Amino acid sequence: MGSREKLKDALEHRGSGAFPVDFGATPVTGIHVLMIDKLRKHFELETRPVKVTEPYQMLGEIEDDLLEQLGVDVVGISPKKNMFGHTQGDWKPFRTFWGQEVLVPGEFNTSIDGNGDLLMYPEGDDSIAPSAKMPKRGYFFDAVNRQKPIDEALLDPEDNLEEFQVFSEDDLLYWKEAAASAALTGKGVVANFGGTAIGDIALVPGLDLKDPRGIRDVADWYMSTLMRPDYLHHVFEKQTDIALKNLEMANEAVGDSIDAVFICGTDFGTQNSTFCDAETYNDLYAPYYRKRNDWIHQNTGWKTFKHCCGAVESFMQLFIDSGFDIINPVQINAAGMDPVLLKEKYGDKLIFWGGGADTQKILPFASVGEVKDHVRRECEILSKDGGFVFNTVHNVQANVPVENVLAMLEVLAEYR
């Protein structure tokens, strides 16, 4: 069975026995550049710098030779600009704090502050305030709060819509070519068109904006769900109008060359509970999710992908009712997220894209044998009767022991 057929079987809940594997198709199923370098060295692949394709989390490009070693069945297509507004091209060398030489986009522009931390600039413009910072002992960036003091009388929801734009002809040509190229791989394809997330806290600070206006502070944004719901409704409604226009044009450009579409990375869970109650979700988020998902289901063959970390078992039915087909990362180590329970209650309605390996406790800290036992158990539970795409619980981080990653891959090879 080919890779795309494996993915299609999983997306249709067909229990063929072979489940697809994803490493790197989305910004929440990737691998840190340092781990990619370690894996390339282990497999004795050609020595060359890893491209930083998602600099906020320092995720790297997994090239074809490594994709083959990892047994990957899914590839992704992403916007031509990254989260900092840098065009993904004109690659140049950059040396990280941990001593790795990587390749970064030509507009990737940084400086070092007085504490020795690395500052990042939107669109590479260092004449303005930085939008993110990497601590000198860190491995990825954190957003810098650039929100101006809020004057309630002057607060305008249009200010939080600056980053959402209707696709241009150049955008559509880019998507058409990217989808066609991805389809030629013979693998399943997931598209991240951008602009479809509702309240994703990673995007709220406006990392790619030179002068972000509106509500950009994470704490203020969360408080606004209770204090300023009308403001957020306005933002989400206008954002949805733009998203629907873009989805319609994207469908004309890529058609059935893609299999799934990344809709939203908004997290609703902490390690132990949810950020809000079901009533808030149904009132503030669900109507806009349903509009997008309904349009996709009525006009395309794509499945819709929802990323949501945390203890969100109580929200699973809400996600289903909102029209989502796929849930990721399936955080099996959070409260109430027992994979047996999840599979029994929701396995016929949701595709579990992730949950194959705990990245908080098992992958970084367990023994090789414990990793193997854990991964086998998760795969057996989640792949039963189909509806499972293997990935870890979120991205594989920098300093995970490479032997543990290899142990995980060994179990996947058994299933192949």
* Residue 352: partners with Cβ closer than 8 Å, 6 or more residues away: 327, 328, 330, 342, 343, 382, 387, 388, 389
Alpha-carbon distance of 25 to 40, in angstroms, equals 18
Taking Cα atoms as reference points, which of 414, 409, 370 lies closest to residue 68?
409
Alpha-carbon distance of 102 to 297, in angstroms, equals 40
Taking Cα atoms as reference points, which of 59, 28, 15, 17 lies closest to residue 355?
28
pLDDT tens over the chain, length 416 residues: 899 999 999 999 997 678 999 999 999 999 999 999 999 999 999 999 999 999 999 999 999 999 999 999 999 999 999 999 999 999 999 999 999 999 999 999 999 999 999 999 999 999 999 999 999 999 999 999 999 999 999 999 999 999 999 999 999 999 999 999 999 999 999 999 999 999 999 999 999 999 999 999 999 999 999 999 999 999 999 999 999 999 999 999 999 999 999 999 999 999 999 999 999 999 999 999 999 999 999 999 999 999 999 999 999 999 999 999 999 999 999 999 999 999 999 999 999 999 999 999 999 999 999 999 999 999 999 999 999 999 999 999 999 999 999 999 999 999 98
The answer, as to whether pTM is greater than 0.85, is: yes
Each domain of the chain, given as residue ranges in start order, spans 3-87+147-415, 88-146
Please report, rounded to a whole number, the percentage of residues in the chain having pLDDT higher than 90: 98
HEC secondary structure over the chain: CCHHHHHHHHHCCCCCCCCCECCCCCCCCCEEHHHHHHHHHHCCCCCCCCEEEECCCCEECCCHHHHHHHCCCEEEECCCECCCCCECCCCEEEECCCCCEEEECCCCCEEECCCCCEEECHHHCCCCCCCEEECCCCCCCEECCCCCCCCCCCCCHHHHHCCCCCCCHHHHHHHHHHHHHHHCCCCEEEECCCCCCCCCCCCCCCCCCCCCCCCCCHHHHHHHHHHCHHHHHHHHHHHHHHHHHHHHHHHHHHHHHCCEEEEECCCCECCCCECCCHHHHHHHHHHHHHHHHHHHHHHCCCEEEEECCCCCHHHHHHHHHCCCCEEECCCCCCCCCCHHHHHHHHCCCCEEECCCCCCCCHHHHCCHHHHHHHHHHHHHHHCCCCCEEECCCCCECCCCCHHHHHHHHHHHHHHC
Alpha-carbon distance of 207 to 163, in angstroms, equals 10
Q: What is the pLDDT of residues 358-415, one digit of tens each?
A: 999 999 999 999 999 999 999 999 999 999 999 999 999 999 999 999 999 999 999 9
Residue type at 391?
N
Q: Are 79 and 99 in contact (CB under 8 A)?
A: no
116 phi, psi to nearest 5 deg: 85, 10
Alpha-carbon distance of 385 to 391, in angstroms, equals 17
Residue found under tokens 């396995």:
347
Which bin fits 78, alpha (ψ -120 to 50), beta or left (φ > 0)? beta
* Average predicted confidence (pLDDT) for the chain: 97
Fold for 3-87+147-415, please state it.
TIM Barrel (3.20.20)
* Residue 300: partners with Cβ closer than 8 Å, 6 or more residues away: 251, 256
Q: What is the pLDDT of residues 236-292, one digit of tens each?
A: 999 999 999 999 999 999 999 999 999 999 999 999 999 999 999 999 999 999 999
Alpha-carbon distance of 37 to 62, in angstroms, equals 10
Residue 275 is encoded by which pair of tokens? Answer: 């950020």
